[in-house]
Amino acid sequence: MIPPRKSRQVRVRDLVIGGDAPIAVQSMAATRTIDLDATLEQVRLLEAAGADLIRIAVDTPADVEALRKIRAASNARLSIDLQENYRLAADVAPLVDKLRYNPGHLHHHERSRSIQDKVAWIADVAKQHDCALRVGVNAGSVDPAMAARFPDTEEGHASAIVTSALEHCAMLDELDFHDYVVSIKDSDPRVVIDTNLRFHEARPDVPLHLGVTEAGMPPDGIIKTRIAFEQLLSRGIGDTLRVSLTVPFADKGTEIGVGRELIADIEAGRFRSVPPNFFDGLNIIACPSCSRVENERFIELAQEVKRITEDLADEDITIAVMGCRVNGPGETDDADLGLWCGPKKVNLKRGTETVGAYSYDDILGALRTELDKLVGSGT
């Protein structure tokens, strides 16, 4: 049930992604990179679970030094998430096999330098060190200049995401750099399906990394991911994937097992029917946790949010629980209520407006107060 794919092949060390190669399954270390012992344990755990590629986030020189020790201790295929600091590419490229940058974050540094120049510099670094690239477009962090080109509607948002990916592909092609894959992610599987279909129609040659970002906790997170994967893989779209789940660090290998299970099910035609009302009622969006998380209580908090909202299952409310300052502020904007977590405080938002910052002990009470206001107002 997975037809032949039309994408070209990209090599990540000895791993082939695209074309007739097996669909690669990957995950990301959920620990802070500078916590060397914990991150090494994550790498070993994911490698033991069968991960084809393991992503680690790097945002500071201290992260780079930790990465250097991780590379010395492990021969796993490593991909690096450059987060907001693209200039670290030169430091990490000799240590890894693949670099991931987010087009929506390139404007943060060296604002006087053009996006094209920044992309050219990243591509040159990747070429020098034989690294592949992932252009990772995230719906929660679209470049403001790109977003401004389109109407502030669902259709305009989807168009901005796809256009961003296509323009970065064109930049890399003009640079004669072709060892890249693209990911277009959102927490809503319907947006993931729509945008990846649009991108694939325009560029069927480019390998796609699939995922529903911030899918949340099992079983809902698995269901959301399955919806997207069934619709895309069955069309021959998708060359590598990640299942993003909010689970305890020790269970991170679950993402690999679920990913392989979903591929096997779709390949064998074992599709799961989706209840027509699956998207009705309460919707909790939660990121899968990664090294950007600055307080490990985030996972416990997400689970507590689910527990204290069980009585609101029929309410048409979206709650976003985000674990970091990088994606948290933007990716909570579209939720009715959003929580993004810092080292000591949790920032509570109602739509795009900040309600306040609360301790981890006090945030659930504040959240419930805002929920009761929403339910009472009927909005």
Domain residue ranges in the chain:
10-267, 283-377
CATH number of the domain located at residue range(s) 283-377 in this protein? 3.30.413.10
pLDDT tens across 168-202, in order?
Answer: 999 999 999 999 999 999 999 999 999 999 999 99
Q: How does pLDDT run across 106-118, given as a tens digit for each residue?
A: 988 888 999 999 9
Q: Which two structure tokens, joined as six digits, stand for 244?
A: 């993003």
What is the model's pLDDT at position 89?
A: 96
Digit-coded pLDDT (tens) for 199-247: 999 999 999 999 999 889 999 999 999 999 999 999 999 999 999 999 9
Average pLDDT estimate for 17-45: 96
pLDDT above 70 (res 373)? yes
Query: 10-267 sits in which CATH class?
Result: alpha beta
CB-based burial, 146-178: b 16+ in 10 Å, e otherwise: bbeebeeeeeebbbbbbbbbbbbbebbeeeebe
Peptide bond into 219 cis (omega under 30): yes
At residue 162, does pLDDT exceed 80? yes
Q: How confident is the model at residue 357 (pLDDT cuts 50, 70, 90)?
A: very high
- Res 55: pLDDT: 97
Q: Tens digit of pLDDT for each residue in 72-102?
A: 999 999 999 987 889 999 999 999 999 999 9
Residue 337 in tokens: 């209520």
Beta bridge partners of 184: 137
97, burial (CB in 10 Å: exposed 0-12, middle 13-18, buried 19+): buried
DSSP string, 6-60: -PPPEEETTEEESTTSPPEEEEE--S-TT-HHHHHHHHHHHHHTT-SEEEEE--S
Q: Which of 186, 285, 286 is nearest to 228 (CA)?
A: 186
Q: In what order do the strands lie in the sheet with 318-322?
A: 283-286, 318-322, 337-341, 345-350, 353-359
Residue in 286, 284, 282 with CA at minimum distance from that of residue 328: 286
Among 186-200, 255-269, 281-295, the range scoring the smallest mean pLDDT is 281-295
